[in-house]
Amino acid sequence: MLVPGEIISYNEMCMEEGVNLQRGMNFELGVNYSIILMSQRKNAPYEDEVLENGKVLIYEGHDIPNTKDVDDPKKYNQPMYNPSGSLTQNGKFFESAQKAKREGITPKKVKVYEKIQPGIWVFNGIFNLVDAYEVKPNSRTVFKFWLELTDEFQVDSGLKNLQHTRLIPSSVKLGVWKRDNGECVLCGEKDNLHYDHDVPFSKGGSSLTLKNIRLLCARHNLSKSDKIE
């Protein structure tokens, strides 16, 4: 089972979820959770943001489909409804977040995966969908979804001590991947990799600098746990 910071291929991500993930927003795709796919790479189509030292993700809603009748999706309001009148993915996430706020109920859980290279993804963890709102950049309506990182993830007992309580910024992930050549810095393993805090966040380590983040294989990540080496 995946833990936050684990690096996987696209095929492994789809196998984990039991479905071929083709869109970025997937409301209630799992039994008790939704899934979103994000990217902050250069030329990414949407403006996702990481705030509050990695505790908060602001995820941008999705545009209308790019069809022969649409010259530029960025000119149009992001849709709440489909032509049939049913809710779009934007609408489903928006209604869910607003209902949780309005009724004071537990927010929906969202699993977040991030693309860091073509075919290479990282599991960012499980978030609470706590808010949704609309903004109007350039005179069009765009949805924004406020998600807060939890300390929840489905793991076996051998992984419970792993601590990933802050989302590592995309620029740091990309820099670390390039610097460490996509392999464990301790043994050169290229599979079962994780982003690891050299000094754990719980002991004062930062998620915001390349100096404190490195690639470790699962074996070395588990053996380290949250101890400072």
Confidence of residue 4 (pLDDT cuts 50, 70, 90): confident
Task: Quote the percentage of the chain above a pLDDT of 70.
Answer: 89
Task: Give residue 225's pLDDT.
Answer: 56
State residue 202's pLDDT score: 65
Q: What is the pLDDT of residues 120-155, one digit of tens each?
A: 999 999 999 999 999 998 889 999 999 999 876 544
Task: Give the pLDDT confidence score for residue 159 in this predicted structure.
Answer: 38
| Between residues 82 and 196, the one the model is more confident about | 82
Residue 21's alpha-carbon distances to 116, 190, 207, in angstroms, are: 16, 24, 28
User: Is 42 or 157 the better-scoring residue by pLDDT?
Assistant: 42
Check if the beta carbon of residue 202 is closer than 8 Å to that of residue 165: yes
**pLDDT, tens digit (0-9, with 9 covering 90-100), for 29-87:** 977 899 999 998 888 889 999 888 788 999 999 999 888 788 899 999 999 999 999 99
Spatial distance between the Cα atoms of 153 and 57, rounded to a whole number of angstroms: 17
**pLDDT value for 156:** 41
Q: What is the tens place of the pLDDT at every residue in 108-122?
A: 999 999 999 889 999
Residues 222-226: what's their mean pLDDT?
A: 63
SS3 174: helix
pLDDT of residue 194: 92
Question: Mean pLDDT across the chain, nearest whole number?
Answer: 87
**How many Cα atoms within 13 Å fall on the side-chain side of residue 151?**
8
Residue type, 208: L
Flag whether the pTM goes above 0.95: no
In the chain, the domains with their CATH numbers are 7-162 (2.30.280.10)
